[in-house]
A and B are shown apart, each in its own frame.
Chain A
């Protein structure tokens, strides 16, 4: 079964791809979402994941394994995760040694930070993207280490795959130049680096332009300009090297160097300035800003800030996802600095930058996971290696000694060796036991986290009953399936955008907005409808041709991430475009409440009415008045809700999803 929100969209597109073929897919105009605007699917998605799944599907079909595309989609993520562990091994081997590679593979295989996106059913871009990311980095490091064109070419293709799979490719195209820059500054410029970077950048850029969603961004957007600058800088370096070789005169060369560097920087600066001013080079996007500055999104783009995955990471979630890796990471950094090479510099930079981004956004923990695993693996491997070599030397000496029997000479030889570090052997073995204890705790923790947090799809809610038995709330699917079966096929469903992908994929109905938040105004219109009173909302819904309205309501079950709790975001996003919606109108003394003390506007807005319609008659908890909202812990303020333009069409068994039918306008008399 497929998890979360986005995978449903991916599944739907993959289905389309396998049924209609690649060209149809590429030119697909989807009229089922963003009604009445529609969405050009082919040009607004990263096709890597779907194409991968379709290729696997076709290959299996060719080999006479008649699998269903759903099965392929569900298992794509674990399959690529297993490939990632292989890449992690080779990467570890490249930057340290085989031992580190092996430990890295083991660590990443069970690291919760990665499992969260690679369980079966998590059919999301990240599933293949992390593999592509690590592969690109590995091949690039290999290219830098060997100076071989073949590896650089491989890394360019890896980059191409990454671009086709996920928007996170921006990370590569910024990290690699940054790394090259650091190497240049630290005086580690070499021919190998020159070959690797140039080949990878040029080819990678050209290949990436083939993806329609990315297009000419590599030469036009501010986010990609760093790579371009470093590329030019490399040429300058190369040129200077050549001049230096030709001149053979240090003084002359110094002057030349000064002139060239200043003019190069000047020309670059002017080009950038002109490009930006003329609009040819677009400035950095809001998402990019919000990555660099955690507070940016909150002030400027409420739609990004409203997603829980985009919140800054809490310490606990680092602990939850990394466990001991968090402590091993600094140790690994120490080892890396101790044995500094091109490869270790890379992994250090990768680790530090990605960890910063992970701190800014919860979901970027995923990007940092491979780096953290690799660096921790270096720590573990180096430590264990040191300890075991200590143990091994001792054993050998004692063996050779013992062959001679108990002689004073042997004893003395042992003493001379032992004098430097008393109890070395015991200490080493104790430490070794400690390391294995830590690692086994890590394994236990990972298993626990995986089974508790990441194995159950979020679309099915599980709770423990009074007797410890498991209760499943399958309300989402109940509602979507009801929509699929019992509404006209051309019905338009209005809901908050979170549920858009699921409604289109599971309910097979047209939605107004969905998780691809490309049109802020459209989302704001829905937000406005939800926060207006029923008459105004009816006008908006009529203009959008809405037939059904779907709201998610957790008041009966105590499910807290429902639409009432998201309501302030709707108000904010709606208010961002339509100034008639003002956030303070829905608050009382800066407080968001739903009980009697709530603001009148709140009590009469559409969302409130739809959620609490006839809720006032229901007793949810023993000993509490009817209409007691368990998610917010209070009795609702407006129990007598009458709907004029809408009627209840369906409510799921635990009231989590409520669907209303929009009545046709009454005849004028």
Chain B
């Protein structure tokens, strides 16, 4: 059982600390007042301490030692030390001084000013520990409640003498199975208080165990990859791949859907169904999917301050169950990209937007536009950095990627990081230009292909036949256009006749006749060589009779029209009545209409070749 092993470790630790007490005091500092609050309402333990440090000795001191028992120190995810007056973040680093046993982790804090004799300073420490709430029992059935256990020391473990101290543990408002009862232990509602204890020597330690029910979601991302892609076309695309596992007590035995959904008293309290992500405001194009497609169970609410995305995995997660999913969203570039001193920088949050999610391994990849130079990163805490190249659509050199890695990330790490780089706007145009030139080349090749002659043999019969046929087609087109011109001339003649009937001015009509005559003559001259060619060409043998017919018909029509024209003009010259003229031309008129129809049919036929 893990439980017993932990207890053994504690006992060892206790013995060690007792041994340590015998060693001389670390320095002369005294903690006049220590207040600790441990918040275990979620899956991690968030410890806030306020330490009042006094220097009674004569030496001035600029370094302060923070100590944790090793089993806590190993699970330390986040540590920050501040002073209230003046408000400042103090730098903390892991230290390994001599004379401290292995069972204690030590961090050294650089004080903002050296403490001389009699000076005092209040330090505000925030520390977040993961994996310190041990599920006990480790395996539960679906109907059982989820119990976890916290181990701590009722007394503050410190290399310094502590004059007064107290501890309060904020438990979720639920069942408390058991807790260590020492002197001055009080349980008030969901708050458990130890202390105050007065005048404790350095390295005092008294282990306590609290066993209570936790309804918090023990959602742990074993691995989270956040890809932040900056596009200077106005978008920051964030894609997050989650490998989530429920790290609470494992489910044993059956999972019964009936019990899980039963109306009066559903069973399965240890499972969680939802995860809540608080995305930046103005997030858009949000999607939620996994390896096998879109997941439709998500809800979104947004206002001007934030965008909240409530996602429901495909199945409820019981202890030990895993799932993988991807969420993605776009952010407006103007909210995250700034310029300073000739450089640009992206200012974006480091951690996951999921609330109360612990990430065991977080990889943040900031993808900068192609052509970015002089890349540098500033982060509020230490991360592992590396560079990569990513290829996306139409990339040639690839996009530089800044890869930041950090283990054991808690929501306290949701601070902004800055990635500085240089980028010239000309590079923006390269991809559209590439596309344009690509299409240009494509079209040019098409044009060249259709215009150029690629036949291998210039003397093969098929090739020659093709050439001939092309010529025939060209000739045909010419013939057609000439006939059309003739028809247009006919129409003009008819129009002149209409004018005549309206005005009675036969002189203009005659003039029109003359010009038309000469035009038609020219046209028929043009037509002759074309006809000759068509007759001689062997490949036009099946068309030439039709063309000839067309020309003959046209001639006929021309004659008829002329005759009609002459009749009408004569009639007007002789001042005969309109009815008379009409009667005379009636028969001609019918023929003209019929001929015209035939010609048009023929033209249509030729058109279709």
Contact = CB atoms under 8 A, between A and B. Distances in A.
A477 B322 contact: no
A1 B294 contact: yes
Interface in B302-330: 314-315, 320-324
A409 B594 CA distance: 12
Interface residues on A, range: 35 or more
A647 interface: yes
B241 to A, nearest CB: 14
A655 B261 CA distance: 11
Contacts of A621: none
Contacts of B258: 614, 617-618, 651
Interface in B253-267: 253-258, 261
Contact of B315 (A64, A403, A404, A481): A481
A481 B323 contact: yes
Interface string B254-290: 1111100100000000000000000000000000001
Contact of A485 (B261, B321, B392, B494): B321
B293 A403 contact: no
B396 interface: yes
A413 interface: yes
B291 interface: yes
Given A400-B597, A413-B593, A66 B255 contact: no
A538 B96 CA distance: 60
Interface stretch (B182-190, B224-232, B511-519, B582-590): B582-590
Contacts of A618: 258
A1 B287 CA distance: 14
Interface in B584-609: 586, 589-590, 593-594, 596-597, 600
A458 interface: no
A478 interface: yes
Interface centre among B291, B294, B320, B395 (most CB of A within 10 A): B291
A401 B593 contact: yes
Interface centre among B292, B321, B391, B590 (most CB of A within 10 A): B292
Given A64-B396, A400-B593, A474-B296, A651 B255 contact: yes
B544 to A, nearest CB: 23
A482 B315 contact: yes
Contacts of A408: 586
Nearest to A407: B582
B391 A66 contact: yes
B393 A64 contact: yes
Interface residues of B, number: 39
Contacts of A653: 257, 261, 315
A396 interface: yes
A648 interface: yes
B394 interface: yes
Contact of B292 (A400, A480, A651): A480
Nearest to A401: B593
A506 B314 CA distance: 13
Interface in B516-542: none
A544 B322 CA distance: 27
Nearest to B395: A64
Contacts of B261: 653
Contact of B590 (A2, A413, A482, A651): A413
Contacts of B256: 614, 648, 651
B391 to A, nearest CB: 6
A409 B586 contact: yes
Interface in A479-496: 480-482, 484-486
Contact of B314 (A403, A482, A655): A482
A65 B395 CA distance: 8
A484 B590 contact: no
A470 to B, nearest CB: 10
A383 B323 CA distance: 61
Interface in B388-406: 391-396
B257 A655 contact: yes
A481 B600 contact: no
A664 to B, nearest CB: 14
A396 B395 contact: no
A486 B321 contact: yes
Given A484-B291, A485-B321, A404 B589 contact: yes
Interface in A227-271: none
A653 B316 CA distance: 9
B6 to A, nearest CB: 28
B293 A1 contact: yes
Contacts of B321: 485-486
Nearest to B258: A614
Given A409-B586, A649-B254, A397 B593 contact: yes
B491 to A, nearest CB: 8
A221 B296 CA distance: 49
Contacts of B320: 486
Nearest to B244: A485
A368 B59 CA distance: 98
B257 A652 contact: yes
B228 to A, nearest CB: 18
Contacts of A482: 314-315
Interface in A44-93: 64-66
Contacts of B394: 64-65
B393 A650 contact: no
A472 interface: yes
A647 to B, nearest CB: 5
Given A409-B582, A485-B322, A652-B257, A478 B590 contact: no
Nearest to B324: A485
Contacts of B324: 485
Contacts of B255: 648-651
A460 B254 CA distance: 26
A405 B324 CA distance: 83
Interface string A1-17: 11000000000000000
B266 to A, nearest CB: 13
A71 to B, nearest CB: 12
B343 to A, nearest CB: 28
A652 B324 CA distance: 17
Contact of B290 (A65, A66, A481): A481
Contacts of A477: 292-293, 314
Interface string A298-337: 0000000000000000000000000000000000000000
A408 B258 CA distance: 93
B393 A409 contact: no
Given A481-B314, A651-B257, A396 B597 contact: yes
A478 B296 CA distance: 11
A438 B244 CA distance: 56
A396 B391 CA distance: 64
Interface string A644-669: 00011111110100100000000000
A482 B296 CA distance: 16
Given A64-B394, A413-B590, A481 B582 contact: no
A408 B583 CA distance: 10
Contacts of B582: 407, 409
29 contacts: A64-B391, A65-B393, A66-B392, A393-B597, A396-B600, A397-B593, A397-B597, A400-B596, A403-B494, A404-B589, A407-B589, A408-B586, A413-B590, A460-B296, A477-B314, A478-B314, A478-B315, A481-B292, A481-B314, A482-B314, A485-B322, A486-B320, A614-B258, A648-B257, A649-B254, A650-B255, A650-B315, A651-B257, A652-B315
Interface of B: 253-258, 261, 290-297, 314-315, 320-324, 391-396, 494, 498, 582, 586, 589-590, 593-594, 596-597, 600
Given A397-B593, A404-B589, 8 more contacts: A403-B498, A407-B589, A413-B593, A484-B292, A648-B254, A648-B255, A650-B257, A652-B315
Interface of A: 1-2, 64-66, 393, 396-397, 400-401, 403-405, 407-410, 412-413, 460, 472, 474, 477-478, 480-482, 484-486, 506, 614, 617-618, 647-653, 655, 658
Closest 10 pairs (CB-CB, A-B): A651-B257, A1-B293, A409-B586, A648-B254, A478-B314, A506-B292, A485-B322, A647-B254, A481-B314, A64-B394
